[in-house]
């Protein structure tokens, strides 16, 4: 039968036959199993920059590195944690090249600032569970738009359960940390008259003045020395 041969009743041919093209020696085929899309990076770890993305279900072929990343081309790698050896159903559209998707993991809401550090002013907030897309800065902040950044410490790479609605843009939430109660004054300074008080542990919301006092509205202010950003 020419170049054909038999193994256990099955005909095998040593000559080329029609069919799919086999990967090159050493190559493997995988399928993107990330919920939406997988980041493609310039090297085999998350410390390398994002250069592109591949949507869920995409078939990719390449060689595996010693730490399980798949090299699909020069300076293009995908983590093995978002790849499957078997085909998977497709998902959503991939973000633009260089973009990543994150989810707000703050207990209630994450502050949005004009720059990539807490020294920049607040311009809004995003509720817990919100999906945000943007580019990562060198210090881990996510740039979601011009002059709009969220700290990486309140973001997760996987979806999280939603929480309370986000405060109004520019507002922050604080907790009274005074031993018993904090004075509420008519202006942002100890020279203003006392118009009320808030018990220790009380949750208060408002906007911060340039001196750090919390303006709760209607002529009610609390000083920064008796407020905490975390529940007490």
Predicted local confidence at residue 25, as pLDDT:
64
Find, among 80, 73, 75, the residue nearest to 48 by Cα: 75
Find, among 112, 106, 82, 111, the residue nearest to 161 by Cα: 106
In the three-class reduction of DSSP (H, G, I as helix; E, B as strand; rest coil), residue 96 is classed as: coil
Superfamily of the domain at 25-96: SH3 Domains (2.30.30.40)
- Contacts of residue 43, Cβ cutoff 8 Å, sequence gap at least 6: 75, 77
Kindly report the CATH number that applies to the domain delimited by 172-228.
Answer: 2.30.30.40
Residues of the chain with CATH 2.30.30.40: 25-96, 100-156, 172-228
**Beta-bridge partner residues of 78:** 70
Find, among 132, 222, 129, the residue nearest to 172 by Cα: 222
CA distance 140 to 163: 23
- Contacts of residue 149, Cβ cutoff 8 Å, sequence gap at least 6: 112, 113, 114, 115, 116, 120, 137, 141, 142, 143
CA distance 113 to 56: 31
CA distance 136 to 39: 12
Which DSSP symbol is given to 159? -
In the three-class reduction of DSSP (H, G, I as helix; E, B as strand; rest coil), residue 42 is classed as: coil
Predicted local confidence at residue 219, as pLDDT:
92
**Residues lower than pLDDT 70 in the chain:** 1-25, 90-97, 162-169
**pTM above 0.75?**
no
CA distance 219 to 196: 11
Supply the Cα-derived Rg of the chain in whole angstroms: 27
- Count of helices and strands (H, E) across the chain: 0, 23
Structure tokens at 72: 């699909």
Q: Please state the φ and ψ torsions of residue 153, each to the nearest 5 degrees.
A: -75, -15
Predicted local confidence at residue 14, as pLDDT:
34
Predicted local confidence at residue 165, as pLDDT:
60
CA distance 144 to 163: 21
Predicted local confidence at residue 6, as pLDDT:
36
Kindly report the CATH number that applies to the domain delimited by 100-156.
Answer: 2.30.30.40
**Tokens 């907790």 appear where?**
175
């Amino acid at each position: 039968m020419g170049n054909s041969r038999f193994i256990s009743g099955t005909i095998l041919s040593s000559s080329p036959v029609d069919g799919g093209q086999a990967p090159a020696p050493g190559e493997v085929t995988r399928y993107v199993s990330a919920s939406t899309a997988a980041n493609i990076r310039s090297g085999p770890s998350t410390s390398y920059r994002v250069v592109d993305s591949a949507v869920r279900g995409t078939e990719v072929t390449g060689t595996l590195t010693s730490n399980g990343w798949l090299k699909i081309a020069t300076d293009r790698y995908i983590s093995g944690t978002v790849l499957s050896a078997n085909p998977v159903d497709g998902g959503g559209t991939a973000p633009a090249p260089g973009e990543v998707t994150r989810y707000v993991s703050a207990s209630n809401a994450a502050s949005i600032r004009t720059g990539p550090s807490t020294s920049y002013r607040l311009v809004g907030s995003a509720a817990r569970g919100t999906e945000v897309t943007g580019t990562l800065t060198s210090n881990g902040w996510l740039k979601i738009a011009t002059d709009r950044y969220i700290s990486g410490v309140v973001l997760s790479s996987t979806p999280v359960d939603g929480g309370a609605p986000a405060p109004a843009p520019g507002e922050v939430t604080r907790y009274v940390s005074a031993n018993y109660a904090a004075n509420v004054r008519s202006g942002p300074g100890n020279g203003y008259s006392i118009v009320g008080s808030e018990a220790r542990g009380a949750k208060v919301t408002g906007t911060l003045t340039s001196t750090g006092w919390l303006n709760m509205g209607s002529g009610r202010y609390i000083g920064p020395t008796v407020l905490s950003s975390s529940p007490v």
